[in-house]
Amino acid sequence: MKKVLFYQKGTPKNQIELWNINLKKWHQDFKLIHLDDPQAHEALIALLWKAPMEIISKYKNLKALISLGQGVDHIINDINFVKNMSVYRIVDPYMAKSMSHWMILSILNFIRDYEGYRVQQIKKIYKSRNCLDFKKIKIGIYGVGEIGKVVAKDLNSLGFNILGWSRVQKDFKFFKSYHSKDGFNYMIENCDIHICLLPLTRNTKNIFNKDVFFKMKNGVCFINAGRGEHIDEKDLIYFCGNKIKLAILDVFRVEPLPKTHPFWRCKNIVIWPHVSAETNVETAAKQVAKAIKLIHAGKIPKNKINFDLGY
């Protein structure tokens, strides 16, 4: 029986069995094995999330790697990654909706001043607080791919004015799309809420830095659910409390976020532990099982990564 390698960092040991049960609902002709299994060298395919690539690169029979998430930077940006292996990612509508729900939660908390009301409750203060007019604010989404366009559409349906930015021009019916450096700068200078959902590439690393934060309007909200490396952390801290009224972060350069990190002490930063859109095994298993079947048959599944673009 064909072997498929499995490794998922930071998850319970029973995760491999959970994936095995759900994958077998759609495809039977393979055996899921752990990274340290004696038969690991026989595998042609590996299902990975933040695996030790120095070990993966030693398995010469591997032809394809499937990321157990929508991001692939943990694979292709690793210095030990060997480019003769194809890489695929999960594109799951469930994950996109989960991200959309988290974004809506974060945005509504900001514009309705949820934290202000929580403080008032503790002090037993019963009075209204100022909130933003949702019809007047602009929300900029940087990265309008499979997840970003769902977030944009859902926010649009709630009456928000949405602007989207991507590497190349894209046309959408429900929001205005920008591209290029000029388009990026326009959104940075005019939006009231900034959402980062970009893939991590050599062109997007540290894309949010002091020069960009300086151009933002005073009192904006900055939300990052892309990757921690998208922002310069020192620059973000410097601008929090003036240009940036609130930063809501779900991703960080080092995860788990170290207890000594200055983010913990910044009252203008809300920290989430990378949970905005977690992979759902039940909904993702069908496409992963199909990809395994196609690769073993010598065919190419959907969602293959272009190494030049980084996604």
CATH of the domain at 59: 3.40.50.720
pLDDT of res. 13: 74
- The domain of 154 spans 93-271
**Are 218 and 98 in a shared domain?**
yes
Residue 14 pLDDT > 90: no
Question: Cα–Cα distance between 68 and 6 in angstroms, integer?
Answer: 10
**Are 155 and 77 in a shared domain?**
no
Question: Cα–Cα distance between 240 and 230 in angstroms, integer?
Answer: 16
Query: What are 35's two structure tokens?
Result: 């990274």
**Are 108 and 70 in a shared domain?**
no
Catalytic residue check, 255: yes
Q: Which of 17, 115, 255, 278 is catalytic?
A: 255
In a domain, 208, yes or no: yes
- pLDDT mean over 203-208: 97
> What's the CA dihedral at 177, 108, 195, 222 to 10 degrees?
130
In a domain, 117, yes or no: yes
Residues in the chain, how many? 311
- pLDDT mean over 280-285: 96
**Are 71 and 215 in a shared domain?**
no
Q: Which of 27, 74, 194, 227 is catalytic?
A: 227
* pTM of the complete model: 0.94
- pLDDT mean over 64-70: 94
Query: What are 267's two structure tokens?
Result: 């009252």
Catalytic residue check, 274: yes
**Are 172 and 216 in a shared domain?**
yes
**Pick from 9, 36, 15: which is nearest to 285 by CA?**
15
Query: What are 43's two structure tokens?
Result: 């595998």
In a domain, 308, yes or no: no
**Are 99 and 47 in a shared domain?**
no
Q: Which of 101, 112, 261, 274 is catalytic?
A: 274
**Are 263 and 127 in a shared domain?**
yes
In a domain, 290, yes or no: yes
